[in-house]
Each structure stands twice: as structure tokens, then as C-alpha cells.
Structure 1
Amino acid sequence: MSLRICILETDVLRPELIEQYQGYGRMFERLFERQPIPAVFTVYNVMQGDYPADDERYDAYLVTGSKADSFGPDAWIQTLKTYLLARYENGDKLLGVCFGHQLLALLFGGRTERASQGWGVGIHRYEVKHQPQWMSPSLQELTLLISHQDQVTALPEKATLLASSPFCPIAAYCIDDQVLCFQGHPEFIHDYSRALLDIRQACIGEPSYLKAVASLESDHQGTTVAEWMMRFVAHGKQGLPAA
């Protein structure tokens, strides 16, 4: 038995990166291939108005990262929020990364805004604050590749904080057994992160750019986060391991 995961892609890659990396949906597919829970994936680019058919159902819906602001007025963002709320009210599980992490926080009563800390880039380290059963293998600290200038600054009322750092106090959270979100990018690889850093060097600033490039010498734990995500989705489903 395999999980069926709907990936709601919320961006199109820069033209110079498409040939090598295709898109965020494809990056997630590659990532999830490296974790032990069997799953199949279907990608829909919601920025371009592509959604599952009304009769299509999935075990979870994953919202990717995006250059867009989660608090922006774009029509496609408002359509996505309506769609996600309907999925939540239907009892479906929702996963969010970066933009998705921020958008879902907003949707459920939290706050997201431009971070006063500035850009978060490179490999970042977080302290794990809470570890439910499905967060297996267990970690006391988590490292992830990041690229963001917005942050969740207030959790939704029912959310549980999972990971935090002084730079990004709300780095991961869950809402009961239905919503799981991470600010960092488990799907990123070092080469893609370096390409983004080079593109954004001027707006990031030289000191932050150099520090971020140096951080890429370290490993990150995106594959572990991918396993956590799939165990979260599998939790409570017969025939699939939740821990």
C-alpha cells in the first residue's frame, strides 16, 4: 500500500534553473524517493490554475515554497487558501514548506510577515522542541537548507511548536494530526541552494551571502524531514508504519 500525495506547486523556477531542476514538485518527488514510506505523487501547479479534479482524493496535500509572499493579494493565492480550507474541513492532511508553512499559518489564524531579521539563507540549525511519535528517527537538533525573507511570527491557536531557533522562532509546527509545516526546504540540494544564493547575492548582501556559501560545506537533514512527513501522513492508517 502506497500513500497518495498531491503536491500543490506554488511557483515556476527561474528560466536558467528549469532544465536542471524542473520544478519544486519534481524536487519533492526526488526527496521522497529517498525515505522508506512508499508513496506516489501527482503535481499540480496552482499558480497556473491547475488543481485536482473534484473526484480526486489524496492522503495528503503538500504546499511548496514560492517567490510569492504568502500574505500577498494575488488571486491565485486566495483561490489556494479557499481550496486548502475546504480540504482541512474535509479532514484531509496538509503539509507546508516555506511559503506553504507561512500560508497555512495565516489560514488558521497565525501571523506571517516580512522578517525583521532579514534573509535566511544557507544551512540553518534548529532546536527540536517537541517530538511526537511520528517524528522518527528522533533528533535533538535539525539542520535544513533555507531561503526566505518572510517568517511566521505568531502560531495558530491550536498549533504545537516543533522546532525553533533564535533567528526563526517558529520553524516548524503541527496542528493536531492534520497539519505539518516546516520553514526550511527539505527538498533543496546544495547545488540548487548555491544557484539561488548567486542569483540573490545583491539583495542578500555580501556578509550574509559569504556566510551562507560557507555553510553549504555541511550536510542537512532534509531526508529525515521527508520521512517525518510521510510518517505523519501514515499515522493512523492501517498497513503503514507511523513510527
Structure 2
Amino acid sequence: MACVLIVKTGDAYPEIVDQHGDFETLFENQLNAALPAHLNVQVWDARRNPTAPALDTLAGILITGSHSMVSDAEPWSEALKPWLQEALANDTPMLGVCYGHQLMAAAFGGVSDYHPAGRESGTHTVRLTQAGQRDPLFSQLPESFAAHLSHAQSVMQTPRDCTVLAHNSHDAHQALRYGSRQWSVQFHPEFSVPVMRAYIERQRAALRDQGENPESLSAEVTEAPEAASLLQRFLAFV
């Protein structure tokens, strides 16, 4: 049976894990609703197990978010870069999310770092570029759609040969494509409304410090079905 690998790069906050599951569980909940019989999902915690799975055993790769920062260049994170480069060279289907988005961009020649405008949290509108409207993964989405976001760092400089698929007023690089079947997104397709609100609650002080209103952000959290659909749509390319 072919394996779709979730590369775990971090843990959600304890109260989120207790109530909703950790990052990999949020991914699994979305994937299992559309998982074909010939695929199974496995999890590799790249922080705790330094031995990367052999790429020829994998049908696809998903990379989770993390509370780590790509620019800190932690050894486990840096060790992922050549593995991701090999996966791209092998045309292994990939989808990176948040930290995974920033890590893929850094691995392929871009720069990920703190966003000068600060943190982006809550449910916000993301807009497809013209390339995004033609992209095989994104083309079935509306030109503008809601997405859950929680990040302090962003892809500040894209790799030379990638394509920008989506953007918004905060972040010029909300979604990128690197090869024929390799994508990454800054937003969280795996988040639910309760998870998004729990993140805003955790970030209340930081959001206030940068002039945001956490109460308003929490009240404006809505369902984001189009963004969520990307995880299941990704399985069609595996």
C-alpha cells in the first residue's frame, strides 16, 4: 500500500491537542474523508527521529506547521532541506503548510523570515493570481476565498523558479508552486473554527501589542471550506 507521509515539524498548544488533536491529527481528519483505498497515512516526527524515510517508499508528502521559526535554522529543520530538494528532483508530490511553506521556500533557494508588518492571525481573504486560476490544484477554487492564518514569519523572497499562486493584503506569497506537483501554502487548510479561535486566544497579548483587536478577530472567524478542500484535492496528484 502506498504511503502519504505527514512530516510533523511541531506541536499545537496543549489545550488544542487535548480538545482537537495535534497538527498531524488535524491533517488526518481532513485526509481520511477522501483517502483512496490504495493509500495510507503515516506520520514522521522530523524533530525526534533524524532518519528520513526513503523517498521511493512515499506516494506524497505533507509538511505541518510549527511554533519553531525557519530562520532559527534548527539542526533538525536544516537537515530536512536536502531531503526536500531530492523530493522535488524526484517529482514527489508535496504540500507544505505554514512552517512547511516557509521551509520549502528556504530549501529551494528563497528566504523565510519575520514579516515586517508583524503577525497575521484569524480568518482572512486570500486571492488567486492569474497563475493560481490556471493551476491544476487551485483552479477549482474561487478567485477569492477565506483561509485560517496564524504566522509571524513569511516567505519574504521566493525561489527563482517558483510560481506565486495566491496572495493577500498582508502577504504576497500565500501559495506557491515549485514543480509540477509541489505546492505550499501559508494558510492552514487543516484548521477548524474552534482551532483558529484557540490560536487567537493564545496570541491575545501579541496581537494587542501590534494594534490588533483579538475580540474582533475571534468574532470574524468563519468556516473556510475552499481552503480546507486543498488537502483532499492534493490526494488526486498522489
Q: In which range does the TM-score fall when normalised by the shorter chain?
A: 0.7 to 0.9
Q: Cα deviation per residue 1:44-92 (whole Å; 9 max; x = unaligned)? A: 1112126554486111111110000112121111112232223223332
One-letter identity of the residue aligned with 1:60: G
Q: Retained in 2: the 8 A contact 1:66–1:99?
A: yes
Where does residue 92 of structure 2 map in the other structure? 92
Where does residue 8 of structure 1 map in the other structure? 7
Structure 1 runs not aligned, ≥5 long: 235-243
1:191 correspondence with 2:190 = no
1:106 correspondence with 2:110 = no
Query: Relative to structure 1, is the Cα distance of residues 145 and 3 closer, same or farther in structure 2, using a 3 angstrom cutoff?
Result: farther
In 2, Cα distance between the equivalents of 1:228 and 1:110?
Answer: 26
The Cα RMSD (Å) is 2.2
Q: Cα deviation per residue 1:172-194 (whole Å; 9 max; x = unaligned)? A: 01012132000000001111111
One-letter identity of the residue aligned with 1:163: A
Q: Could you tell me the TM-score, scaled by structure 1's length?
A: 0.86
2:69 aligned counterpart, secondary structure: coil
Query: Relative to structure 1, is the Cα distance of residues 214 and 16 closer, same or farther in structure 2, using a 3 angstrom cutoff?
Result: closer
Query: Relative to structure 1, is the Cα distance of residues 51 and 64 closer, same or farther in structure 2, using a 3 angstrom cutoff?
Result: farther
Aligned length: 231
Q: Retained in 2: the 8 A contact 1:91–1:178?
A: yes
Where does residue 116 of structure 1 map in the other structure? 116
In 1, Cα distance between the equivalents of 2:182 and 2:50?
Answer: 22
In 2, Cα distance between the equivalents of 1:214 and 1:17?
Answer: 19
Where does residue 18 of structure 1 map in the other structure? 17
Query: Aligned-pair distance for 1:35?
Result: 4.2
Which runs of structure 1 show a deviation greater than 6 angstroms over 4 or more consecutive aligned residues? Answer: none
Q: Identify which range, 75-84 or 57-66, moves more after superposition.
A: 75-84
Q: Retained in 2: the 8 A contact 1:94–1:179?
A: yes
Query: Relative to structure 1, is the Cα distance of residues 173 and 135 closer, same or farther in structure 2, using a 3 angstrom cutoff?
Result: same
One-letter identity of the residue aligned with 1:177: S
Q: Cα deviation per residue 1:151-171 (whole Å; 9 max; x = unaligned)? A: 112211111111111211110
Where does residue 60 of structure 2 map in the other structure? 60
1:222 aligned counterpart, secondary structure: helix
1:47 aligned counterpart, secondary structure: coil
One-letter identity of the residue aligned with 2:21: Q
Q: Retained in 1: the 8 A contact 2:91–2:179?
A: no
Query: Relative to structure 1, is the Cα distance of residues 226 and 55 closer, same or farther in structure 2, using a 3 angstrom cutoff?
Result: closer
Query: Relative to structure 1, is the Cα distance of residues 187 and 35 closer, same or farther in structure 2, using a 3 angstrom cutoff?
Result: same
Query: Relative to structure 1, is the Cα distance of residues 161 and 10 closer, same or farther in structure 2, using a 3 angstrom cutoff?
Result: same
Query: Relative to structure 1, is the Cα distance of residues 228 and 20 closer, same or farther in structure 2, using a 3 angstrom cutoff?
Result: same
Where does residue 138 of structure 2 map in the other structure? 135
Q: Identify which range, 202-211 or 142-151, moves more after superposition.
A: 202-211
Query: Relative to structure 1, is the Cα distance of residues 135 and 75 closer, same or farther in structure 2, using a 3 angstrom cutoff?
Result: same
In 2, Cα distance between the equivalents of 1:34 and 1:209?
Answer: 32
2:156 aligned counterpart, secondary structure: strand
1:29 correspondence with 2:28 = yes
Q: Which of 225, 233, 238 is equivalent to 1:228? A: 233
1:29 aligned counterpart, secondary structure: helix
Where does residue 217 of structure 2 map in the other structure? 212
Q: Could you tell me the TM-score, scaled by structure 2's length?
A: 0.88
Query: Relative to structure 1, is the Cα distance of residues 8 and 164 closer, same or farther in structure 2, using a 3 angstrom cutoff?
Result: same
